[in-house]
Amino acid sequence: MANLPKFNESYDLVSSKVIGSGNFGVAKLAKHRATGAVVAVKFLPRGDKIDHNVAREILNHRQLRHPHIIGFREVLLTESHLCIVMEYASGGELFDRIVDSGSFKEAEARYFFQQLISGVEYCHSRGVCHRDLKLENALLDRGADGNGAPRLKICDFGYSKSSSDSDPKTTVGTPAYIAPEVLQTKKYDGYRADVWCCGVTLFVMLVGAYPFEDPDDPKNFKKSIMRICSVKYSIPSNLGITAECQSLLTSIFVANPEQRITIAQIKAHPWFQTNLPSMGAADGALAPESTQTIEQIQQIVEAAAVNPNGGDGAAGDDMMLDDDDFN
Ligand SMILES: Nc1ncnc2c1ncn2[C@@H]1O[C@H](COP(=O)(O)OP(=O)(O)OP(=O)(O)O)[C@@H](O)[C@H]1O
């Protein structure tokens, strides 16, 4: 790794506190020494788990630059980890905001849904489908001036596919959000499947529960799959959800992806059009562009597939992380 960029050459950890964790490892806060910018860094243990899927996640993320998508900055190495440096969303996950409030009023749900659709539309326009859209992958920042209304930022391109990748066929995503066609072992249209996930996200914001889970038997995955395939859901009448909003959900939850509403049609829907912020008003500044080329990124990811410490990057290695590991 002689000439490859190292994390400790340009960043300091702000604290050892973990801001998020997932299958990959952990995310921590760091400060860019030259500019003072605070960033989020995903630390992935080096070794065989750094494969073409990780490379794809990074390269797909790198080509996206939009106010409602977490900005990608660069990838770096430590002795033990591959570091993905990103814009930091300080407001937590949209999921936690719903857990705190139970459910959102229609106006609040629409506010976030408009931003989600704006980010998803942009991904699709760049030939990238996300394939794991959900509340946990919708992060929030603290608004343009640090105090304003939170802005939604899509993260986690771990399952994303770009038009240069093979057509999606694998069943990926999070069970409660999976579209019916993704459950079949056939090729499917990742863009249309993303629309379904946006519908599930909207439903959870409005209702505070997953649409296709049996409330009396929520852990019964088989039952949820049957409900997804037969599009069996109901909107509690006591929530007073407007007919316009219900009509949008009905047009999203259509089993046949060809007949499902498209992103362009969602944008034209009267419910979506209500209180739509003027272009730019809700957007604010973009995170700085990444300066790394595709070739540089590929070289770093390839180097990360080898763990100089000899570990295999298995989950167990993670348990022993301390600050020295990041230097
Ligand atoms: N840029 C960021 N700003 C703030 N928090 C972040 C950022 N990136 C990741 N996190 C936190 O870390 C969590 C996990 O990150 P991410 O979803 O990218 O990892 P993952 O391994 O793909 O997750 P999962 O296993 O849930 O699919 C996020 O849900 C979030 O709480």
What structural domains and CATH numbers belong to the chain? 7-88+294-315 (3.30.200.20), 94-273 (1.10.510.10)
Dihedral of alpha carbons 298, 303, 306, 309, sign: negative
Q: How many CA atoms lie within 13 A of 46 on its CB side?
A: 24
Tell me which of 29, 42, 130, 172 to substitute to probe ligand 1's pocket, judged by most ligand atoms within 8 Å of the beta carbon: 42
164, 78 contact by CB (below 8 A): no
Position 285 scores a pLDDT of 65
How many Cβ atoms sit within 10 Å of the Cβ of residue 93?
A: 18
Rg of the chain's alpha carbons, rounded to an integer?
A: 20
Catalytic site includes residue 48: no
CA 223, CA 226: separation in Å to the nearest integer?
A: 5
Position 2 scores a pLDDT of 59
CA 81, CA 306: separation in Å to the nearest integer?
A: 10
Position 72 scores a pLDDT of 96
E strand segments, 23-65: 25-32, 38-45
CA 293, CA 61: separation in Å to the nearest integer?
A: 13
**The one-letter amino acid at 173:** G
Which residue in the block uniquely carries the two structure tokens 């770093």?
300
Distance from the alpha carbon of residue 273 to the mean position of ligand 1, in angstroms: 30
Task: Say how far residue 75 (Cα) sits from the centre of its chain.
Answer: 18
Give this prediction's pTM. Answer: 0.90
Sequential pLDDT tens for the chain (327 residues): 558 999 999 999 998 889 988 887 899 999 999 999 999 999 999 999 999 889 999 999 999 999 999 999 999 999 999 999 999 999 999 999 999 999 999 999 999 999 999 999 999 999 999 999 999 999 999 865 666 789 999 999 988 888 777 777 777 677 899 999 998 878 889 999 999 999 999 999 999 999 999 888 888 889 999 999 999 999 999 999 999 999 999 999 999 999 999 999 999 999 999 999 875 544 556 777 788 999 999 999 999 998 777 654 443 343 334 444 443
Closest-lying ligand 1 atom to the alpha carbon of residue 87: 1
Pocket of ligand 1 (CB under 6 A): 19-20, 22-24, 27, 40, 70, 86-89, 93, 136-137, 139, 155-156, 158
152, 112 contact by CB (below 8 A): yes
Query: Is 31 assigned a ligand-binding role in the annotation?
Result: no
The interface pTM score, or ipTM, of the predicted complex is 0.94
Cα distances (Å, whole numbers) of residue 175 to 112, 114, 117, 185, 227: 22, 24, 21, 15, 12
Which residue in the block uniquely carries the two structure tokens 């989600």?
116
Q: Which is the catalytic residue, given 100, 132, 141, 322?
A: 132
